[in-house]
Amino acid sequence: MAHIKSRKHAVARPATSPSSRSVTAASLLAGLALGAPPALAMDAGLDAAPAGAVQATTLDGVHVEGQRIKRYTGQSASPKFQQPLVDTTRTLSVIGSDLFNEQGATTLTEALRNSPGVSTFYVGENGNTTTGDAVYLRGFDTSGSIFVDGVRDLGSVSRDVFNIEQVEVAKGPAGTDYGRTAPTGAINLVTKRPHLRDSTAASASYGSEDHKRLTADWNRAFGPGAALRVNLMAQDSEVAGRDVAENKRWGVAPSLAFGLDGATRVYVDMLHVQHENIPDGGVPTIGLPGYTSPDPERPELGSAPPVDPGNFYGTLGDYDDVTADMATVRVEHDFGADARLVNTTRWGRTQQDYMLTAFMGSAGRLLTPDITDRSTWTITRNLPTFKDQRNEILTNQTLLNLAVDAGGVRHDITTGLELIREDLQTLGVAPVAGTGWPDANLYNPDPAVTGLLREHTGARGDGRTDTAAVYAFDTITLNERWQLNGGLRIDRYDTEYSSLVPCGGRRGPDCGGLAEGSIVPGVDADVSDTLFNWKLGALYKPADNGSIYASYAISQQPPGGASLELSDRDNNPNNPAFDPQKARTAEVGSKWQVAGNALLLTAAVYRTELTNEIVQDPIDQRYYQNGSKRVQGIELGAAGRITDAWLVSAGFTTMDTEVTEGPTVSVDGSTDLAYTPEHAFTAWTTYRFDNGLTLGGGARYSGELKRGNDGAVGTPAYTEDYWVVDAVASYAFNENLDLRLNLYNLFDEDYVAAINKSGYRYTPGAPRTAMLTANFHF
């Protein structure tokens, strides 16, 4: 069955080739809505007819059976992308909940494995361990470019997907679409919404490492055009392959909708998620390929065996407590068939209180009382990482979709206004003087230790960014074969940041006669500017089911744009003395819908250049903004149905990276960018048999990763490439119950999933595990 996607409330678009097929499609859509069983209607994205609209008659001798049909592809839910994916002039991946739920994914990071070359390759710098969705995309950190329903989502936290309908990955500059963003793209999460069908779904999972998870999705229609939907989640799990580390969270997401059967629709959404995790700082890289002794006096360290990848070098007192709240009111109004107004008001807040016992395996911290007896070797626990941070956002966004025919030329116009206030507050935390943890045994660490006390120091940082933005996009359909599109966004932003910091030490300001560690004024700065981001594209359709396109776009990241923090350091891009960093991407590609338009094939060649990088002049040792970097490559993709029973999602990418101006950033001295595999591949496929059995699986490949350059001695300069193979089997007993078994890392591959900048620590890949899930549908 070809994929059918309801566009009930979208601005109407004419068929590419006007013919009687438009009537046929409309008739088929109406027939499915009236004749399909509830599960099938839900999958097709169709709203149930209002009560009393249709008088049904029961026919003797007619028995209809159906089953839920899964999809691996869909249309972008953003009103800023009005064209179908096949006619979108950029690499835009839509990862649906059918796909990541079938894989047993629970977080955004796990769902993003379906987009090649997107992952958490970077652990952090020295003792500072990266938390949450630390995503790298096409060579650059994209953690600050994550959005929920088009609104920026702040905070370095791990996002659960229990209330997510689909994940959209826009690769290439997204500044015209979202404002300030990372150079190589943005990630948008689309939340679930109420609908006019009574439905209940629930799942219960249990797996290796005492993984326990429950979810529920309950929707009820009441009154004319109104519905309530509630999504619930609770999870308590150890981290696969790791001792002590734990992920424990729960969440609730109620959503109320009115006017679903009319021209004006109102959605009121709430979200509350609570995390109580034990964070993981990784394990030492000693003994990995490429490791040599960091101390010339102890060459024996270079031949030492690796540690057990399950070892936990933190303490039982470590914690990562997160509270995330979000409230959204969205109003949509249709002005006939060719115009729609959307207004979104959002308040969101994320609070994170965090303590992690970190370590560095440098020569002075790797102790060997008896060099011949490895059981006596220890590593110091003297790098505690603390975070007490609150992020808050308040925004109002107004968007107008408009379709206009002028002189035989079709214009699909989107214009909008965004008003945004973002706030940051960080409180300084440090160990109480004279307290600390004992050293950890290198090969047999004990987490059950005490001794360290923490306190708020009085240090703090307060940041605020106010933004007013206007934008306009236009897709011009010249005829059945040619389209042109363009967009412009203007952001006027004002960022203020002030801090109180401890004086002295390696990075603190001069104490001026005060005791070292005294709290003194730090940064007190502000920056205001106007960003102009734009994009252009041209598309040719050699056939109704395919396109060939070319596009060019730019985006900018101003000082403080990613973190809301400003800096007074000469080598920091958040110094307000510097201009915004700029990214330019050119892309040429082709997209084709095959297999009855149910399978989307894509291919693209891209090139991104980042300029205004901060680099140090080797002669005068001063910093200038004349550095540049480049990433280029190809990306291939396939998503959808080969047949009604056979589904596939696959992608392959190459990333040829280079520092084109400025000092190298990889430890091996090459011009390559760090934490970026040259090749990456991902695939997932399933086949559903007539008896209710579904079998399938997938594979992921990541090429070699080079780590950053920071002068560390003896640590690996790179991580080896790896393959990971997963499998799935499920059986539908009836339309109300199915069981699913997921097997992960089927061949128990040992691999390095991420590495920190100095190479002292890495995150081991998860070993072979299993998870059994019962899914209920009513």
pLDDT digits (tens, 9 = 90+) for 669-679: 899 998 889 99
Is the pLDDT at 341 greater than 50, yes or no? yes
Confidence at 63, pLDDT banded by 50, 70, 90: very low
Which segments of 319-453 are extended strands (E)?
A: 319-334, 339-358, 366-367, 378-379, 383-406, 409-431, 440-441
Quick one: tokens of 346? 């959002």
With a cut of 50, say whether residue 608 has pLDDT above it.
yes
Length of the chain: 778
Q: What is the pLDDT of residue 708?
A: 84
Give residue 72's pLDDT band: very low, low, confident or very high (50, 70, 90): low
pLDDT exceeds 90 at position 129: no
Q: Does the pLDDT of residue 39 top 80, yes or no?
A: no
Residue 575 has pLDDT above 60, yes or no: yes
pLDDT higher than threshold 70 for residue 65: no
- Tokens 């790298």 sit on residue: 136
Render pLDDT for 707-717 as a digit per residue (tens, 0 to 9): 888 888 899 98
Q: Which position has the token pair 């179908």? A: 84
Confidence of residue 24 (pLDDT cuts 50, 70, 90): very low
Mean pLDDT calculated for residue range 162-179: 93
For 522-572, what is each residue's pLDDT tens digit? Answer: 999 999 999 999 999 999 999 999 999 999 999 999 998 888 999 988 888
Residue 71: pLDDT band by 50, 70, 90 thresholds? Answer: low
Quote the pTM value: 0.88
pLDDT surpassing 80 at residue 68: no
pLDDT in tens, 460-483: 999 999 999 999 999 999 999 999
Q: State mean pLDDT over 220-247.
A: 95
Please provide the average confidence, as pLDDT, over all residues in the chain.
88
Higher model confidence: residue 704 or residue 29? Answer: 704
pLDDT band at 120 (very low <50, low <70, confident <90, very high): confident
- The CATH class for the domain spanning 85-777 reads mainly beta
pLDDT for the residue numbered 69 = 57
pLDDT value at position 199? 96
Instruction: Give the N- to C-terminal CA distance of the chain in Å, as an integer.
Output: 23
Show the tokens assigned to 39: 């599960």
The pLDDT-based confidence of 27 (bands split at 50, 70, 90) is: very low
* Mean pLDDT to the nearest integer, 345-368: 93
pLDDT beyond 80 at 121 = no
- DSSP code of 764? E
pLDDT value at position 310? 96
Query: Is 395's pLDDT higher than 50?
Result: yes
Residue 9 reports pLDDT greater than 50: no
Q: Rounded distance, CA 713 to CA 359, Å?
A: 15
Closest CA to 598 of 42, 14, 70, 30: 70
What gap in Å lies between CA 83 and CA 77, rounded to an integer? 11
Give Dmax (Cα) for the chain.
95
Q: In sequence order, what are the residues at sequence separation of 6 or more whose Cβ sits closer than 8 angstroms to the Cβ of residue 228?
A: 194, 219, 220, 222, 254, 255, 256, 257
Candidate from 75-79, 393-397, 610-614 with smallest mean pLDDT: 75-79
- With a pLDDT cut of 90, the percent of the chain lying above it is 71
Q: Determine the average pLDDT of the residues in 192-201.
A: 96
SS3 content of the chain, % helix, strand, coil (to 5): 5, 50, 40
Specify the amino acid at residue 388.
D
125 and 757 Cβ atoms separated by less than 8 Å: yes
In three-state secondary structure terms, 175 is helix
| Tokens 């070098």 sit on residue | 313
Which of the residue ranges 318-327, 573-582, 615-624 has the most confident prediction, judged by mean pLDDT?
Answer: 318-327
Other Cβ atoms within 10 Å of 308 Cβ, number: 14
In the predicted model, what is the mean pLDDT of residues 451-460?
Answer: 93
What pLDDT, on a 0 to 100 scale, did the predictor assign at position 51?
Answer: 33
pLDDT at 43 over 50: no
User: Phi-psi region for residue 512, left (φ > 0), alpha (ψ -120 to 50) or beta?
Assistant: left
